[in-house]
Structure 1
Amino acid sequence: MYRSPTAEAEVAAELAALRPDLAARYAAELPGARAAVLTRLWRALTHEPLPWIERREASGEGRLLRLRDGRRLHGPEPDPFATAGYVTEVGLDGTGYGDPARLVTALRVPHGTDLARELGHSVASLALSRAGQPAGPQGHPARDWEWEQRVVDGHPYHPGCRSRPGFSVAEQLAYAPEHRPVVGLGLVPVPGEACVVTGRWPAGWRDGERLLVPVHPWQAAHVLKRPCEERLPGRPLMSLRTLALPGGPHVKTALSARLTSSVRDISVGSVTAATVLSDFAGELADDRLHVTRTLGAVTDGSPDLAAVLRESPQVYAAAGERVVPVAALPLTGLPRDPDWLAAFAHLALSVGLRLLELGVALEAHGQNLLVVLSAAGLPLRLVYRDLADIRVSPARLARYGLWPRELPERILTDDVTALRRKLFGSLVCGALAGTAGSAAALRGALETAVRDLPDTPDRVALTERPLPVKALTLMRLSPGTPGDQWTELPNPLM
């Protein structure tokens, strides 16, 4: 049976050998990390359609969950949009659990052992991430990648927010963005005739008839199992496998490790469609939205050796402006102002709903969506990056005389539920909720933001129905079920 302190103890032992200066801070951060992960887990327990929960009901100032086997879970009244770690203990038949991994172990649910192990890693890695932060004020970053590296806690609602199975402490310190390393990417030569290439591959990444493919050192060591002699210095961004290169471009590398929910690879189809998608989305943008261009993409035909090169979002900032990932907005201090948050919500919803009406549903979560701020901190425009998981409706495009070209079949759908889930689940329940930090703050922002939005069926769905969100914990407990699974959260506007 899994015991969560194992992950915490393993990290502590490695840290004592590698970075003894962080050992005391790591230990001090563990209680807060447990509460952060437990809060995310309680959100799932109180809102996701988990088959072993029979009923949920109010109980005093908290919530009671009756399990199908007769046991009872009790915890505080949930705020599904809270980002602070407000849940410090959940009771199971009178026994209190402050450790999320121990709680899942005690629940004895199908596939719970694997989830408990991931939550243990999530707690330990989150404590490590927090322990490695500089003390005192840091000021405003001067470069775009510095904003990315300040997002310490990862996904605001996923219990596995910092789970990094397969990464040792040394590798987390060497590769994870919140530890601010410089990562040396390998350049692996591949015969040009064996590659699929779209866009323009840089002349400096060619060796005669061979193409030089950037490879993450973790991938080289654990998957390709080959040395990479040439080194290209990069600064890891929030997604860890994407890095900012000297001079500005960003490169997404293949990294066959499970980060948060799934193993993210770069398929041949993604490489083939990269520039087509980029051109298509760029044509739909307007003066409120920029879409970073894909400059080039390459693969040797396998998901283990591939890379995508795209613009830095910083190219869309004029003098005096700055581009900030939405996930980093809580670190700027700006979202504490309700008027600012309402203005940002109005900008984001105006752009998102306009594109949805045209037939394009963005996956506009806090990592993919960035905002251009004026020198005074006002939200001016949006920048969107990484088009791999958008959804496109051919029928909606056709209504406006548009045609989706040769877009990948997997992103095409006219299912209105799928389209709204993609946008609302990422933008409202992800980017806006994570920035607001609570149901009350999100409600205040939405009430102001939606007042003058065009009266479309999508707007009605946004304001008058429960909000869709991925059932992230159910997905982790359903390894045999492919694709996303969904649940609904209370709409603050209802």
Structure 2
Amino acid sequence: MGVCDTPAERALAEELASVRPSLSSAYLAALPGARAAVLARLWRGLVHEPLPWIAGRARGGDGISVRLTDGRRLHGPPSDPWATGTAVAAVELDGVPYDHPALLMAALKVPGGEPFAAELDHSAASLALSRTAPPPAGPPSEPWEWEQRSADGHPYHPTCRSRPGFSAADQLAYAPEHRPVVGLLLTPVTDATVRGSWPPQWRDGAAVLLPVHPWQAEHVLGGRSVLPGPAAHPLLSLRTLALDHRTHVKTALSARLTSQVRDISAYSVDHALATSELAVRVADRLDGRLHITRTLAAAGAGTPDLAAVLRESPYVHAGTDEQVVPVAELPGHFASHDHGPHQRPARIAEFARLALGVCLELLDLGVALEAHGQNLLAVLDRQGWPRRLVYRDLADIRISPARLARHGLPAPPMTGRLLEDDPVALRRKVLSCLITGALGPLAGSTAELGALLEAAIRDLHPTPDLSALRTEPLPVKALTLMRLSPAGDQWAHLPNPVPGAAER
């Protein structure tokens, strides 16, 4: 049985004792494993990211030693940057073992360490609470149930389950792994910006009724009038919910989940339809291998904390006897649907060929997808083989006007942050998301990822982007560095695992 060692752990334990005492024992029992899982993610960052206060690293038979610029030393077990599902029991700082990531970060006393330690505390406590959710009884009966099967969140991010501002009651009421039904609220906005055809039932005279997440209404929008809204099912991203089988709604949620505050900018509302129309038009060049979930409408009050986007559900793209599965859920799905000793690796290899081919072709045409495990979904046939892809959430893609023009495609009628012609920036967007969010978790180790990439790219059409993938270090977001120094995207470059890449 675990013991609560930190403020976030104690706070969740006290709240659970009040709102759901039946989960208290399970929560306490899950704490040691949750700490070890988050510590493994933090140790990955300390070993592999370009942190300015680390002077050197040395690998030995019993693990890895990290020398800090002030002379102190960390020592921990070997760390494979592409391993998933790992746990680290403890990391030593000058011989003192730490088994909690928040306590280790606090002891390091580095710039930005105090707020990051609080996030790590939330991450471990919330992960333990997530792991109390009962496992699904069987295969999904509704399409959104695919999004509610995993408790652990991002496989590499140390704040994989950090939900500051969310009480135990909030997590049980709104987090997808607990499989709740969420009652959205509607708030009237008389001067809303609207793009697309806003649903008539969400209008009241001159006012637009914006769907609002109930957490946002309580904690951010206090004082605004609200009306009861539709019931919805939370998806992997928590603030995006399924209204029914055909429509999803993305709400603003001014809470920091993993790296980002999940609001919706006025820029995103303004350009939502133009971005969608362009992405669909470019994807049409790929002979049906990629579906883009169309943006149906977007509306906002001019501030990032009050806006919403209506999207086509990715599940409308499933044909007869097909299912659409978020890529984050593919590792478990492939493992549980084997039909022979070689089926799982064969399915993974088929998905890798499909995903790399689609993403690199689309990149060459001029659209860089953020194809991580939440945004990318696979259409699987009756036997569980990947046949096509679906992509959703266009808010952070990048569009290259120069590449579009090269292929005879008109540039979209927009300016601003979505436009990018720098080939390095475009490649980083695609490769970091696809490999870190999809292929790395499916491979599960550096050796397996190298073999997977080598087989997947063997027959792809040669482009400068493919050449970079074959030969250059792999760009990944420096997730720990970004939380210690939150100045936007920052990068680590990991050794390319493709056999022979270093010699090319």
User: When the two structures are superposed, what TM-score results if normalisation uses the length of structure 1?
Assistant: 0.96
In 1, distance between residues paired with 2:454 and 2:134? 36
User: Is 1:429 aligned to 2:427, yes or no?
Assistant: no
In 1, distance between residues paired with 2:415 and 2:445? 37
In 1, distance between residues paired with 2:422 and 2:309? 29
Superposition deviation, residue 333 in structure 1: 3.1
In 2, distance between residues paired with 1:10 and 1:278? 42
Note if contact 1:217-1:228 (Cα within 8 Å) is conserved in structure 2. Answer: no
Match 2:256 to one of 238, 242, 258? 258
SS at match of 1:468: strand
Equivalent residue, structure 1, for 2:497: 492
Note if contact 1:363-1:423 (Cα within 8 Å) is conserved in structure 2. Answer: yes
Number of matched residues?
Answer: 486
State the AA in 1 paired with 2:269: V
User: Is 1:448 aligned to 2:455, yes or no?
Assistant: yes
In 2, distance between residues paired with 1:113 and 1:4? 17
Superposition deviation, residue 358 in structure 1: 1.0
Equivalent residue, structure 2, for 1:170: 169
In 2, distance between residues paired with 1:436 and 1:280? 32
State the AA in 2 paired with 1:144: P
Superposition deviation, residue 138 in structure 1: 2.5
Note if contact 2:105-2:113 (Cα within 8 Å) is conserved in structure 1. Answer: yes
State the AA in 2 paired with 1:488: H
Equivalent residue, structure 2, for 1:383: 390
Superposition deviation, residue 407 in structure 1: 3.0
In 1, distance between residues paired with 2:370 and 2:270? 20
Superposition deviation, residue 76 in structure 1: 1.5
Map 1:458-473; keep pairs closer than 5 Å.
Answer: 458-473=465-480
In 1, distance between residues paired with 2:65 and 2:262? 36
In 2, distance between residues paired with 1:69 and 1:52? 8
Deviations along 1:289-322, whole A, 9 cap, x unmatched? Answer: 0000000000111112111000100100001000
In 1, distance between residues paired with 2:86 and 2:14? 26
User: Is 1:352 aligned to 2:349, yes or no?
Assistant: no
In 2, distance between residues paired with 1:35 and 1:229? 43
CA RMSD of aligned residues (A): 1.4
User: Is 1:181 aligned to 2:180, yes or no?
Assistant: yes
Equivalent residue, structure 1, for 2:70: 69
In 1, distance between residues paired with 2:233 and 2:411? 34
Superposition deviation, residue 61 in structure 1: 3.4
Superposition deviation, residue 77 in structure 1: 1.5
Deviations along 1:424-464, whole A, 9 cap, x unmatched? Answer: 00001221112222223222221211110112211111111
Note if contact 2:189-2:207 (Cα within 8 Å) is conserved in structure 1. Answer: yes
In 2, distance between residues paired with 1:248 and 1:478? 40
Superposition deviation, residue 142 in structure 1: 2.0
Moved more, 225-234 or 26-35: 225-234
Map 1:256-335; keep pairs closer than 5 Å.
Answer: 256-285=254-283, 286=286, 287-334=288-335
Map 1:88-103; keep pairs closer than 5 Å.
Answer: 88-103=89-104
In the alignment, structure 2 segments of 5+ residues that lack a partner are 337-342
Note if contact 1:269-1:408 (Cα within 8 Å) is conserved in structure 2. Answer: no
Note if contact 1:424-1:467 (Cα within 8 Å) is conserved in structure 2. Answer: yes
State the AA in 2 paired with 1:228: V
Superposition deviation, residue 4 in structure 1: 5.6
Equivalent residue, structure 2, for 1:55: 56
In 1, distance between residues paired with 2:353 and 2:335? 15
In 2, distance between residues paired with 1:229 and 1:389? 31
In 2, distance between residues paired with 1:448 and 1:131? 39
State the AA in 1 paired with 2:461: P
SS at match of 1:56: strand
State the AA in 1 paired with 2:219: H
In 2, distance between residues paired with 1:490 and 1:296? 42
Equivalent residue, structure 2, for 1:140: 139
In 2, distance between residues paired with 1:301 and 1:113? 33
- Rate the CA distance shift 1:246–1:397 in 2: closer, same or farther, 3 A: closer
State the AA in 2 paired with 1:204: Q
State the AA in 2 paired with 1:369: L
Equivalent residue, structure 2, for 1:200: 197
SS at match of 2:459: coil
In 1, distance between residues paired with 2:458 and 2:304? 45
Note if contact 1:4-1:102 (Cα within 8 Å) is conserved in structure 2. Answer: no
Q: Which runs of 4+ in 1 moved over 4 A?
A: none
Deviations along 1:110-162, whole A, 9 cap, x unmatched? Answer: 1111111110110000000001223xx63211222101111211111110000
- Rate the CA distance shift 1:284–1:23 in 2: closer, same or farther, 3 A: same
In 1, distance between residues paired with 2:176 and 2:41? 22
Note if contact 1:83-1:437 (Cα within 8 Å) is conserved in structure 2. Answer: yes
Superposition deviation, residue 228 in structure 1: 2.5
Note if contact 1:257-1:263 (Cα within 8 Å) is conserved in structure 2. Answer: yes
